[in-house]
Amino acid sequence: DIRMTQSPASLSASLGETVNIECLASEDIYSDLAWYQQKPGKSPQLLIYNANSLQNGVPSRFSGSGSGTQYSLKINSLQSEDVATYFCQQYNNYPRTFGGGTKLELK
């Protein structure tokens, strides 16, 4: 199974700040990586797919990058509505696996 190690587990940042979340795969996943945002009490929402493609309707302050085993999600100019937990997921192979999540809070 491909293990997805996400860091940090929690993060506190100020409005307008830039935030980076990392996801490390235990083997090459060839950019088959998605990022999801889950707000409290809500279902996850797709932000990024294929490592760097922005889902329709997602603000351009979100971006994804990476290749091979290392990937990252960047949030520019943090807004209050970005408070959420973020998950990465690989879909290169079964079983599909998720990172443990990063809980983003406002400082």
Partner 1 sequence: EVQLVESGGGLVQPGRSLKLSCLASGFTFSNYGMNWIRQAPGKGLEWVASISSSSSYIYYADTVKGRFTISRDNAKNTLYLQMTSLRSEDTALYYCARHSYYGYNRDWGQGVMVTVSS
Q: Tell me: does residue 87 bind partner 1 (CB under 8 A).
A: yes
62, 75 Cβ separation under 8 angstroms: yes
Q: How many Cβ atoms are within 10 Å of 68's Cβ, its own excluded?
A: 12
Select the residue interacting with partner 1 from 19, 21, 23, 34 (CB under 8 A): 34
Return the amino acid letter for 42. K
Q: Tell me: does residue 57 bind partner 1 (CB under 8 A).
A: no
C-beta of 69: minimal distance to partner 1 in Å?
A: 18
Residues with Cβ within 8 Å of residue 56, at least 6 apart in sequence? none
C-beta of 61: minimal distance to partner 1 in Å?
A: 20
Helix (H) or strand (E) holding 90: strand 84-90
Q: Tell me: does residue 86 bind partner 1 (CB under 8 A).
A: no
Select the residue interacting with partner 1 from 16, 60, 95, 107 (CB under 8 A): 95
Nearer CB in complex with partner 1: 61/103? 103
- DSSP secondary structure string, 22-44? EEEESS--TT-EEEEEE-TTS--
Return residues touching partner 1 (CB under 8 A).
32, 34, 36, 43-46, 49-50, 55, 87, 89, 91-92, 94-101
